[in-house]
Amino acid sequence: MNTENISFENKIQKLNEFYQMKQPENIITFIKDNEKLIELLNETIILLKKAFPQGTFELEMYNDLSGEGLDHLLLNIYVDEFTFNNGLMDKIYDIDMEILPLQKELDLVMALNLMPGVKSELN
């Protein structure tokens, strides 16, 4: 195995330590095709920890079935019901605005969407 692959695998492992991954094979393939996402996801970790210290975070692929090929990652943000009902969307908006310059710089504006959710036994 060459150094580049080991490095990519290490980066994915670090992401996997923070984010749960739904269908990880698809997510890893998408990230491999869009490696700049690693930087964006790492920067987003800092903001998520600050805004939602008790939250859990899951990456999930969104596949556009309309045939336009607009595949991107959903970053599901799961919080307790109180947080969900008291300012969650404002905090998500703030995070979106903070990461937008980096998304533009990395040409990843449409590659990642933050989605709200309530924690359950499944998250």
Q: Write down the domain spans for the chain.
A: 3-118
In this predicted structure, what is the pLDDT of residue 86? Answer: 95
Query: Given this model, what pLDDT does residue 122 score?
Result: 52
pLDDT value for 63: 74
E strands, the chain, where?
20-21, 56-62, 72-79, 112-118
Q: What is the mean pLDDT of each run of 10 residues along the chain (123 residues)?
A: 70 96 94 94 97 96 71 94 94 97 94 92 52
Q: How far apart are CA 21 and CA 26, in angstroms?
A: 9
Q: Which CATH class is domain 3-118?
A: alpha beta
In this structure, what token pair is assigned to residue 48? 């998520």
